[in-house]
Structure 1
Amino acid sequence: MSKNEILNTQPQPLLSVNGLKVHFSIKQKHAWPWTPPATLKAVDGISFILNAGETLGIVGESGCGKSTLARAIIGLVSANAGDVLWLGQDLVHASPGALREIRQDIQMIFQDPLASLNPRMTIGDIIAEPLRTFYPHLSKAERKEKVSAIMARVGLLPNLINRYPHEFSGGQCQRIGIARALILEPRLIICDEPVSALDVSVQAQVINLLKALQADMGLALVFIAHDLSVVKHISDQVLVMYLGKPMELGSSQALFSNPSHPYTQALMSAVPIPDPEVERNKQVKLLGGELPSPIKPPSGCVFRTRCPLADAECAHIKPVLKGSVGHSVACLKVVMDTREL
C-alpha cells in the first residue's frame, strides 16, 4: 500500500489548527498621537492536530498565549491568520449560523470555577442554560431530568439542584462547570487551567473525573496547565509555548522521556519529585533573565535572550518546528530526526 493510500484510510482529524495567529493592537502610554499602535503577538503561528478521544496538553509560562489560543479555537477572540478546522470545516471564516451549530460540539471549562458561574442563578439553571439555548423545545421536566443525570455523573447530589454557587466549595463549583460543559454531549472540551485554583487533593479528583468522562464519552480534550506533572498524567501529546510561539510538540511519552528544547528542559527540571533524595540531587536548569515584553519580542528566536545555547545566528533566524510527526522542536541548535513516522 502506497503512502497516499495509507493517508486516505486514516480518519479525519477532529480538530486541525494551522498557522494560527492572534494579534492585538496596543495603544502605548505617553506616545505621540500620530504614533501607530504596537502589535502584541499573543499567538503567532501555532499548528497541531487533535484526533477524537485524544488529549492535547498546552504548557508554558504565564503570558505565553495559552488561554488566547484556547479562546481563538472556540471563537471567543478573532484570529488574524491561519485556519481552525473542525472535521474539515473552517471555523475562522464560518458564518454565525454555522458556528452556532458547531458550538454544541465544542465546550469550555474555565480557570476560576466560582467566577465562571452566575451567582444569581441556581446550579440547576446554570447547568440547564445550554439546553434552553440549543433545545428550547424541551419541557421543564425534561430539562430537570437531564440536569439531574449529568449532576450525578460528575459527582454532585441531584438534591442540590436549587442551591446557589456560593454554597459550594471550589472543587464542587468546578464540577458544576464540567456538568454545564457536558450537558450538550460535546465531542471536544477545552479546559483552561481547570485545576490551578484548587487544592492538590481536589486537583487529583477533578483530573480523574475528566479522564473517566473522557473514556466513557469518547471526549477529546485541550488541557491547559502550568503543572507538568498534571499534563503528563492526562495528555496524549503536549505543546510547549513561549511568547506565542511553539517551542516543542510531541507525544507525551516522547516529550517527557526526551525533552529536547532548552525551554522544555528548564520547565521539566522545575517539577518537584516526591522522592526527597532524588529531589535533593536533581539538576535544576534555571533560566536567566526576565520574560521579554510580548510587544517587543527578541529578533530571531524569541527564546534566545534566556537560552544557554543561543549564539549570533539565533538573533537573525526564526526557528520552525522540525522533526518527526511524533516529536518536533523549534530550535536551531537541536538536531532532530526528520523522518516521518
Structure 2
Amino acid sequence: MTDVVKQEAAAGKAAKKNRVADKKLLLEVNDLKVQFDIPSKSLWPWAKPSKLKAVDGVSIKLYEGETLGIVGESGCGKSTFARALIGLVPAVAGSVVWLGQDLTRLPYKEMREKRKEIQMIFQDPLASLNPRMTVGDIIAEPLRTFFPQLSKVEVKEQVKDMMTKVGLLPNVINRYPHEFSGGQCQRIGIARALILKPKMIICDEPVSALDVSIQAQVVNLLQSLQKELGLSLIFIAHDLSIVKHISDRVLVMYLGNVVEVGETKALFAEPKHPYTKALMSAVPIPDPILERQKKIEMLEGDLPSPLNPPSGCVFRTRCPVAKASCAETKPTLTGDEAHAVSCLLVA
C-alpha cells in the first residue's frame, strides 16, 4: 500500500511539472532589491544617508493566465515591489525579465512601449482618477498616448465597449469621477487598465477601500475578465480570504523578504513558516463554533524598521520558535514551485 501511495504522489508531482511546462512564462523576477536613501539627522553636511531596504531580494515567476497573490503586513514591501516591476520605483539590483527582456536594462523609450503590456490598478479608486477629466477622457487617455493615429470616433467606440465590459453604462461617459461610488470608480480604473489590452495587470490592493459586497463584485469582475481576455494577474491584498479565492499561487512577504510561496491549496492547507501560520490563524471562519475553537497564533512585538533589520532571519525577533542560530544565518527559499519556505527550522 505504501508503494502505491508513493507512486501516486510521484505521478501527481510529474503531472504538476507537465502543467507548468505547458504554460508560457511571462515574468521572471530574480533577486530584486529596492532601497531608498533616508537623509541623516546629523548636523554634519557630509554625513551619509541611511539605506532603507524596502525590497531585499525577491524572486518570482508568473505564467500566462495565472494569478499570483501577494500578502503580508503593512510596510512589508508589497506595493514597492509591484511598482518596481514596471519601473515606477527604480531597482538597485536584480532583474525583471518580461517575455525574455530585462525591463531594468531597457532604455526609456523601449520601456515606455512595454508599459502597454503591463498595467496597474491602484488602491484608492477615487484618488487614482483625475477629478478634472470625464470618465470617457480618463479611459481614453492611454489610447491617445500610445495610438495617436486613432480617430475620435474610433477612440470613443473602444471606450464605450470597454465600459460595457466592466459593467458601466456608456451613457455616463461624460460624467466626472466624483459622481460615482467607490465601486464604480474602481471599475473606471479597471477599464483604463484594460483599454490597451495588456497581458498582465498588477492589482495593488484594489478592493481594500471598498465595502464587502462591492469587493466581491470587483473580484468576480476581475476573474471573468481574466478568463475572457487571457490576463495574468498579480493581486496584492491584506484579506487572505480574497487572496485564497482568486489566486493560483500565493507569496508571503515580511520586511521586504519572501518567507513562503506556493500553490494556494498547499499553502493554505499546510502553512510551514511561523509568520504564515500567524496570518492564517487570523482569517475568520464563518462557522461560529469553529471560530471559537480555533487557536490564534499571536505575534509579539512590532514590525522592525527596514532601516535597521534584524541580522540573520528578519522574522526572528517576533518568531515564537526562534533559536540562537537564526540570528547568524539568513535563510533562503527551499522547496519547489509548488511550495517553498524560507526558514532554518523547517525541514
| TM-score normalised per structure 2 | 0.93
From 35, 38, 47, the equivalent of 2:50 is 38
Distance 1:258 1:245, change over 3 A: same
Q: Would you say the 8 A contact 1:187–1:219 is kept in 2?
A: yes
In the TM superposition, what whole-angstrom CA distance separates every residue of 1:23-71 from its partner, at most 9, and x where no partner exists? 1111133564333111100001100100010000000000000000000
In the TM superposition, what whole-angstrom CA distance separates every residue of 1:243-286 from its partner, at most 9, and x where no partner exists? 00000011111111110000000000011111111111110000
Q: Would you say the 8 A contact 2:125–2:189 is kept in 1?
A: yes
* CA distance, structure 2, for counterparts of residue 298 and residue 119 of structure 1: 43
- Structure 1 unaligned runs (5+)? 336-341
From 53, 57, 70, the equivalent of 2:69 is 57
Matched ranges for 1:135-284 at <5 A: 135-284=147-296
The CA deviation at 1:8 is 12
SS in 2 for 1:16: strand
* CA distance, structure 1, for counterparts of residue 25 and residue 57 of structure 2: 19
Paired letter, 1:171: G
* CA distance, structure 1, for counterparts of residue 19 and residue 66 of structure 2: 19
The CA deviation at 1:293 is 0.8
Specify the alignment match of 1:339 in structure 2.
Answer: none
From 102, 107, 115, the equivalent of 1:95 is 107
Specify the alignment match of 1:48 in structure 2.
Answer: 60
Q: Would you say the 8 A contact 2:29–2:58 is kept in 1?
A: yes
Distance 1:8 1:67, change over 3 A: closer
Distance 1:261 1:31, change over 3 A: farther
From 105, 112, 123, the equivalent of 2:117 is 105
* CA distance, structure 2, for counterparts of residue 28 and residue 262 of structure 1: 35
* CA distance, structure 2, for counterparts of residue 276 and residue 212 of structure 1: 32
* CA distance, structure 2, for counterparts of residue 151 and residue 12 of structure 1: 29
* CA distance, structure 2, for counterparts of residue 9 and residue 217 of structure 1: 22
Q: Would you say the 8 A contact 2:250–2:264 is kept in 1?
A: yes
What is the RMSD of the two structures over their aligned residues, measured on CA atoms?
1.5
Distance 1:21 1:156, change over 3 A: same
Corresponding residue pairs, total: 331
Paired letter, 2:126: L
From 296, 301, 312, the equivalent of 2:324 is 312
* CA distance, structure 2, for counterparts of residue 249 and residue 55 of structure 1: 13
The CA deviation at 1:100 is 1.7
The CA deviation at 1:9 is 6.6
Distance 1:178 1:7, change over 3 A: closer
From 25, 28, 33, the equivalent of 1:16 is 28
Paired letter, 1:140: K
Matched, 1:295 2:311: no
Q: Would you say the 8 A contact 2:77–2:256 is kept in 1?
A: yes
Paired letter, 1:229: S
